[in-house]
């Protein structure tokens, strides 16, 4: 614990003794004090892994670490400008928590909204779901703009939703060739978007030798559950219908090339 935590803990204990000493037995005092300590430690630990940071620090950390920037605003807000490289996941989406759990939990997450309220709630949800390191932008995009930090705008045209893929459909695609690479992704995930052109090129390169199977987990969540996919993008290499290798997150094209080539 830090110095401030220890001081607050000491104050909590002293207050417990002051308010209970006149009318309580030593056993009751001890019990009351232990309850106070447990409650205090729980409130401290419940925020472990979440750090509120100002814009300049947020930018520094995002540039320095191999993490994921997450914008939890509405599409209309995002269209007005967003931080470069951000994945976009509307906190008001009814499937927000399910989609959140598709992200890589072992990477730092840099989350923001308009003013910091929604991102704080998102950070707490991530914390409760096992994300290890979460940085919340204090003051949100408002503070970011006040600090005169850059935003970028992109066309706010929703991607056409992929057709659902059933397990039978998937098995048929697996059976088409002895070697298949399955790409489990979502349209809102920036690392997935970064990998998309690489997968397109691999499909052309191995057109006559291996299948590339694309699975949009927003359209086909059951397939994601079936293969226990977490941390999109996820790539699974199948040989004769059986999983031989998998990787979560972005990956160098040469590694993917070598994996497919070695399975042929």
Catalytic residue at 189?
A: no
DSSP secondary structure letters along 110-154: EEE-SSSHHHHHHHHHHHHTT-S-EEEETTHHHHHHHTT---B--
**Stronger pLDDT, 21 or 218, i.e. the higher one:** 218
Q: What is the pTM of this model?
A: 0.77
Per the structure, the count of domains in the chain is: 3
Tell me: do 177 and 137 sit in the same domain: no
Percent of the chain with pLDDT strictly greater than 90? 76
Distances (CA, A) of 56 to 152, 156, 204: 17, 27, 42
Residue 100 lies in a domain: yes
Facing residues of 183 across strands? 214, 235
- Average pLDDT rounded to a whole number, residues 79-105: 95
Annotated catalytic residue within 50, 89, 113, 189: 113
Tell me: do 219 and 242 sit in the same domain: yes
Residue 159 lies in a domain: no
Tell me: do 32 and 80 sit in the same domain: no
| 126: CATH | 3.40.250.10
Alpha-carbon distance of 173 to 244, in angstroms, equals 16
Residue 15 lies in a domain: yes
Residue 155 lies in a domain: no
Q: Does the pLDDT at position 36 exceed 60?
A: no
Tell me: do 34 and 57 sit in the same domain: no
Q: How confident is the model at residue 49 (pLDDT cuts 50, 70, 90)?
A: confident
Which domain-ending residue is among 146, 181, 199? 146
Domain residues for 23? 3-45
**Stronger pLDDT, 43 or 111, i.e. the higher one:** 111
């Amino acid at each position: 614990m830090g110095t401030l935590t220890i001081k607050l803990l000491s104050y909590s204990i002293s207050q417990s003794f002051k308010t209970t000493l006149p009318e309580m037995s030593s056993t009751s005092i001890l019990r009351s004090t232990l309850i106070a300590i447990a409650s205090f430690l729980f409130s401290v630990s419940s925020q472990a892994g979440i750090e509120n940071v100002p814009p300049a620090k947020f930018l520094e950390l995002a540039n320095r670490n191999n993490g994921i920037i997450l914008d939890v605003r509405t599409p209309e807000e995002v269209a007005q400008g967003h931080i470069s490289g951000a994945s976009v996941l509307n906190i008001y989406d009814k499937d927000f928590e399910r989609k959140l759990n598709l992200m890589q939990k072992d990477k730092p997450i840099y989350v923001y909204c308009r003013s910091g309220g929604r991102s704080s709630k998102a950070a707490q949800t991530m914390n409760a779901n096992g994300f290890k390191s979460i940085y919340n932008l204090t003051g949100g995009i408002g503070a970011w703009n006040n600090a005169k930090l850059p935003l970028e705008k992109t066309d706010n045209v929703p991607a056409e939703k992929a057709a659902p893929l059933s397990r039978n459909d998937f098995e048929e695609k697996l059976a088409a060739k002895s070697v298949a690479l399955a790409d489990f992704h979502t349209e809102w995930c920036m690392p997935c978007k970064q990998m998309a052109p690489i997968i397109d090129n691999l499909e052309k390169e191995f057109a006559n030798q291996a299948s590339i199977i694309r699975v949009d987990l927003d359209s086909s969540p059951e397939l994601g559950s079936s293969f226990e996919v977490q941390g999109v993008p996820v790539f699974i290499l199948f040989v004769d219908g059986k999983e031989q290798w998998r990787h979560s997150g972005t990956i160098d094209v040469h590694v993917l090339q070598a994996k497919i080539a070695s399975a042929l």
